[in-house]
């Protein structure tokens, strides 16, 4: 092999020097004042918006906003943070959806606590990466303490471990990856594995989260691998149906690799009977994963921790701190009862985490994670616990659960609405019911009301389908939301839906179709 050399005649290219203005944008000793100023300006913009918003959204449409974003020429910089922030008002801040507003009642988005925002500001500036010790140092130890703390709250025992993830979907994916590998432990050799994979099944509630299906697909399972088990009247999985399904699968030559219990279904806030599921799974030798993405807030609840009884017997647990711990996105974790199963996510790269580091007991979190470079999300929860403590967080979650019970009461006593089951957490699923003529317009009227409400920006509610019919959903996660807010939003919905039904029925009277 010849080594390329410059010929004496050729002048080597002049070394490039970035302009001083570009270098000044790098955070370092020389730019700390500029950093402080830029961040303070950004915080001021948010402060102005947060103080000024009188509704959770503006109802802007993609068609209206897209041209504004498209007009920005990304190849022609503005040169300073102030100008970019001015522009940001138009492309983002003015029309953002504000979860802190008490009439944002749609999805599982919480208002966020200030210590967590402080954590976010610190972690992003320091920019630790949680893959290896040599990129993180104390950050790795802090994440590990929080994993241990969470595992202890769950009651997973002395061998527990886990890792922070980007969200519940990734936590569920990793849990099912581990369960799949455990189920395949005896399938030695590629042929045995290939024969087993299409026979693997996952049982979960009919009200379970779609990320279970998506995970099954990513894990190369059969398209019908996820079996939706029927629920009871309160939308909790029926344990007897789980037991029957395990028997049926075995008779059909199928292998149940996991049962996924849900501690807080996304729509109904229902908590599967975890202790019964644990008993069934233990007897059948099946992995129990508990998806507590939503219900994990009960881990710190001063009054409702018992609703999670049985969770301590799970093999793996998903928690989303960014749902019920009032943390900003992203903040989630996967916990496992037996730390050894995390080896299924372990790969050693010479450049990053060579195997000898395991012998040297160097804590490299990448050995447990599906990600490589990874945010120090744990810092947000750390500062939250250090400033507020767990009881205060749990009290906030308790308050929204209580508020949801009041909201359920309000809707169920209101003759304009029909309400589904009372949530164990903080959702209310209901629909406007036209009386008299126009009853058959109920589906369309509820769809219309939701869209009209969103377009007004005055409130945001969610929608879902229950037994084939369109329903509306409140998800309460904001202690600032009052029962009066709920009542006001119900009036807005009834007005929109009622007008829709009225317009449709009178239109049919005046100009009959046919």
Ligand X SMILES: *Cc1c(COP(=O)(O)O)cnc(C)c1O
Sign, CA torsion 288/292/295/296: positive
Among 98, 164, 268, 294, binds ligand X (CB under 6 A): 294
Q: Which is nearer to ligand X, 317 or 497 (CB)?
A: 317
Q: x/- string (CB under 6 A) for ligand X, residues 117-136?
A: --------------------
Positions in 449-478 near ligand X (CB under 6 A): none
Q: Is 512 exposed, middle or buried (0-12, 13-18, 19+ CB in 10 A)?
A: exposed
Q: Select the span of 84-92, 261-269, 421-429, 491-499 touching ligand X (CB under 6 A).
A: 261-269
Q: Which is nearer to ligand X, 216 or 410 (CB)?
A: 216
The count of chain residues that interact with ligand X, using the rule CB under 6 A, is 15
Among 161, 291, 377, 485, binds ligand X (CB under 6 A): 291
Q: Helix, strand or coil for residue 329? A: coil
Among 209, 236, 368, 450, binds ligand X (CB under 6 A): 209
Angle (CA) 448-454-457 rounded to 5° is 145
| Residue 232 C-beta: closest distance to ligand X, Å | 18
Tally of CB atoms within 10 A around 411: 22
Q: Which is nearer to ligand X, 153 or 209 (CB)?
A: 209
Among 293, 442, 453, 459, binds ligand X (CB under 6 A): 293
Q: Which is nearer to ligand X, 317 or 441 (CB)?
A: 317
| Residue 294 C-beta: closest distance to ligand X, Å | 4
375 near ligand X, judged by CB under 6 A: no
Q: Is 54 exposed, middle or buried (0-12, 13-18, 19+ CB in 10 A)?
A: exposed
| Residue 263 C-beta: closest distance to ligand X, Å | 8
Q: x/- string (CB under 6 A) for ligand X, residues 80-119?
A: ----------------------------x-----------
**Contact predicate 180/173, CB 8 Å:** no
Positions in 147-186 near ligand X (CB under 6 A): 167-169, 172
**Contact predicate 259/314, CB 8 Å:** no
332 near ligand X, judged by CB under 6 A: yes
Please identify the residue of the shown chain whose CB is closest to the bound ligand X.
168
**Contact predicate 254/224, CB 8 Å:** no
Q: Is 8 exposed, middle or buried (0-12, 13-18, 19+ CB in 10 A)?
A: exposed
**Residues contacting 57, CB < 8 A, separation 6+:** 95, 96, 97, 98, 104, 454, 457, 460
Q: Which is nearer to ligand X, 129 or 332 (CB)?
A: 332
| Residue 143 C-beta: closest distance to ligand X, Å | 18
Tokens representing residue 207 in the block:
């009200």
- Of all residues in the chain, what percent are helix, strand and coil, respectively (each to 5)? 50, 15, 40
Among 245, 320, 367, 485, binds ligand X (CB under 6 A): 320
Q: Helix, strand or coil for residue 35? A: helix
DSSP letters, 207-271, are TS-THHHHHHHHTT--TT-EEEE-B-TTS-B-HHHHHHHHHHHHHTT-EEEEEEEEBS-TTT--B
Q: x/- string (CB under 6 A) for ligand X, residues 210-229?
A: -x------------------
Q: Which is nearer to ligand X, 207 or 366 (CB)?
A: 207
Contacting positions for ligand X (CB under 6 A):
108, 167-169, 172, 209, 211, 262, 264, 266, 291, 293-294, 320, 332
């Amino acid at each position: 092999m010849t080594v390329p050399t410059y010929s004496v005649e050729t002048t080597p290219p002049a070394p490039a020097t970035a302009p001083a203005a570009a270098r000044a944008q790098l955070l370092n000793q020389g730019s700390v004042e500029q950093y402080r100023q830029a961040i303070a300006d950004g915080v001021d913009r948010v402060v102005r918006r947060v103080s000024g918003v009188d509704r959770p959204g503006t109802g802007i449409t993609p068609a209206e906003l897209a041209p504004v974003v498209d007009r920005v020429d990304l190849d022609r910089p503005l040169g300073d943070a102030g100008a970019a922030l001015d522009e940001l008002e138009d492309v983002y801040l003015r029309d953002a959806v504000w979860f802190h507003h008490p009439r944002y009642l749609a999805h599982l988005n919480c208002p966020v606590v200030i210590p967590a925002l402080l954590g976010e500001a610190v972690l992003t500036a320091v920019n630790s990466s949680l893959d290896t010790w040599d990129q993180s140092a104390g950050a790795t130890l802090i994440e590990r303490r929080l994993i241990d703390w969470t595992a202890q709250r769950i009651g997973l025992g002395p061998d527990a471990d886990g890792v922070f993830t980007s969200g519940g979907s990734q936590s569920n994916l990793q849990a099912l990856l581990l369960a799949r590998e455990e189920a395949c432990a005896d399938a030695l050799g590629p042929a045995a594995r290939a024969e087993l994979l299409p026979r693997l099944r996952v049982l979960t509630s009919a009200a379970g989260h779609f990320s279970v299906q998506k995970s099954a697909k990513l894990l190369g399972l059969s398209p019908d691998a996820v079996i939706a088990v029927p629920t009871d009247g309160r939308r909790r999985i029926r344990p007897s149906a789980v037991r029957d399904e395990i028997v049926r699968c075995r008779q059909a030559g199928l292998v149940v690799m996991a049962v996924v219990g849900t501690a807080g279904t996304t729509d109904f806030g229902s908590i599967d009977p975890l202790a019964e599921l644990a008993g069934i799974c233990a007897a059948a030798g099946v992995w129990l994963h508990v998806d507590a993405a939503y219900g994990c807030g009960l881990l710190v609840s001063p009054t409702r921790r018992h609703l999670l009884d049985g969770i301590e017997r799970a093999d793996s647990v998903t928690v989303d701190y960014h749902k019920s711990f009032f943390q900003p996105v992203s903040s989630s974790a996967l916990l496992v009862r037996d730390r050894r199963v995390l080896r299924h996510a372990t790969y050693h790269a010479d450049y990053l985490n060579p195997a000898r580091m395991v012998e040297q007991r160097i804590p490299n979190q990448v050995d447990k994670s599906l990600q490589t470079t990874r945010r120090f999300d744990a810092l947000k929860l750390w500062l939250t616990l250090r400033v507020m403590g767990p009881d205060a967080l749990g009290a906030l979650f308790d308050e929204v659960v209580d508020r949801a019970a009041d909201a359920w009461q309000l809707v169920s006593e209101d003759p304009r609405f029909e309400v589904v089951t009372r949530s164990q957490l903080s959702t209310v699923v209901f629909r406007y019911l036209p009386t008299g003529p126009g009853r058959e317009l109920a589906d369309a009227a509820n769809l219309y009301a939701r869209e009209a409400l969103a377009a007004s920006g005055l409130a945001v509610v969610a929608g879902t389908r229950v037994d084939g019919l369109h329903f509306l959903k409140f998800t309460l996660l904001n202690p600032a939301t009052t029962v009066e807010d709920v009542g006001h939003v119900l009036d807005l919905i009834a007005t929109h839906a009622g007008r829709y039904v009225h317009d449709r029925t009178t239109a049919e009277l005046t100009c009959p179709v046919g």
